[in-house]
Amino acid sequence: MHVYALMVAAAAVVVPAIADSSTYQGPVVNTTSTTSSSSQTVPSSGSSSSPLPTVELDYTTVQAVGGNATIGYFKYQNIRFAKAPTGDLRFSAPEWPDIETAINTGNLAEADVSCKTSEDCLYLDVWAPADAAGRNLPVMSGVTPEGLFDLSTDFVYVAYNYRVGIAGLANGPTYQHEGGVANLCVWDSQHAFEWVQKYISNFGGNPNDVTAVGFSAGGSQVMFQMTRFGGRAPQLFHKAYIMSPGYVPGAGHHHAEQFWQNVSSSLGCNGGHLDCMRAISYDALVNASNTIVDNYTYQMQPRVDGFIIPDTYQANLYQGHFNFSGPCVISHALHEANSRAYSGVNTQEDVSTYVRIFFPGISDDAVETLLELYPEEDYESAGLRFADMKQSFDLTDKNIALTHALNNETWNAQVALGAASHGADQNYYWYSTYTLNTSSNSSSEAETTNATEAAGVGAVTTAVNATIAVSMQKYLVSFVLTGNPNLVWSEDKIYWPMFNESSVGAQIVLNDTFSVADDSLANAKSLFWNKALWY
């Protein structure tokens, strides 16, 4: 399965070995690249031809596609968590899947099925320890941890797809009037977390100990779950590890309406009638949508719809309209997007023009405020000036909104690795030495690699320093297991203070020599964007 977080993926981890108990006892770190366990996750299928275990759910039975007791985990692939969103279910909220009479051996779709290219894409994968039965293990939800069990197999991992592009982000007055459900990517993510609550115990996971992990747009998916329905919805996870959340907040209804009408007209569905748009082939729909996006610089992003997204999540957090009370880590890169001049912005007049392209309803006085917050003399060029603005409203402004909403009781980080651009941390969090073989022999072998390239669009794909990578993974794993990045391997890494342990806000700086510094995002720029004064 190929999991996208709108456009980019979330991170994965390496975990410490835990005593064989349903509660955390402390780390027992392995020194080899594999782990062992004595029992399978669940009873096997009983077939003499395959040793791979099966898990029974109330609508299907799934069989592992790879793994074994020697490496310590099994992978269950392409589990349908919602009906195929095709035909009359296109542009509709996800529904629970139908009963499946045949055993699901992971072949319902390609292993790397992607919602970018396949409409029938609402599948998830589960990685479960071989001895998970009855252990009530912590659960992590993100993308893929495959190969990142170097130190242990003491958590259950869930990776899910959600609809992207026009299938997951259609919006606007006509679309909703016709019965279309806006922001379906957020609905799909909600449904995946509901699936975890309902079924993860069958795999040995604890539904009351779920950590949501997300990077870039995947990080924003986590934040949309915190603020969906303005905080009037159940909390579906208990901890959050959010890295460089990316989200360009589309302003007003005009852009969304114009986009829907342009796409529908190009497909012969004048007026945007939903029955016509549901009859169009998926390839034609995607191609037409992509063409309109390119021609009109449309921002394919979640938009305020008055329902599941009643306001931008920055504004919801700032106003206290959210439902999340657990431990939280949130990070950003030092130069997410401001080290390169923004293309097309060549003069100072272009800065105001591009602000209005992104936010067509912004008032003149709000534009003037922005120009004062980002003064011309601070930048070598107009392109760099606007790039810094975009870094704020796309990638960094929401961090401090979440921190303040959680009473400053968050762990904040600044990534300063290499060029410190967007995704600079991902190969470190994803560093691995395993490759799972899911061929017919269902074996798994350990292979040495510099770093996985599955970190998502925008992630660094060069080799990484393994020592730094493991240190970063230890913070993440400690957080997943205990709700605190410091508790496990406390002597192996520097202490990471909470934001509120400094009068001006504390953050850890993740670079070649980790350090603690004052927070850099608690400023007037972030406050402007968090108040949504551009709306």
Active-site positions read: 216
Contact of 326 with 483, CB cutoff 8 Å: yes
**Bridge-based pairing state of the strands 434-435 and 506-510:** unpaired
CA dist 527 and 505 (Å) reads: 15
Cα angle: 370, vertex 372, 374; to 5 degrees: 70
**Bridge-based pairing state of the strands 205-215 and 239-243:** parallel
**DSSP state, residue 55:** E
In what helix (H) or strand (E) does residue 241 lie, and over which residues does it extend?
Answer: strand 239-243
User: Over the range 464-503, which residues count as b (16 or more CB within 10 Å of their CB) and which as e?
Assistant: beeebbbbbbbbbbbbbbbbbbbebbeeebeebbbbeeee
Cα angle: 225, vertex 226, 228; to 5 degrees: 60
User: Over the range 381-392, which residues count as b (16 or more CB within 10 Å of their CB) and which as e?
Assistant: ebbbbbbbbbbb
**Residue 213, phi-psi category: left (phi > 0), alpha (psi -120 to 50), beta (remainder):** beta
DSSP string for residues in 163-204: --HHHHH--SHHHHHTTPPS-HHHHHHHHHHHHHHHHGGGGT
**Centroid of chain to Cα 487:** 25
CA dist 116 and 99 (Å) reads: 26
SS3 44: strand
**DSSP state, residue 520:** S
Contact of 133 with 42, CB cutoff 8 Å: yes
Rg (CA), the chain: 23
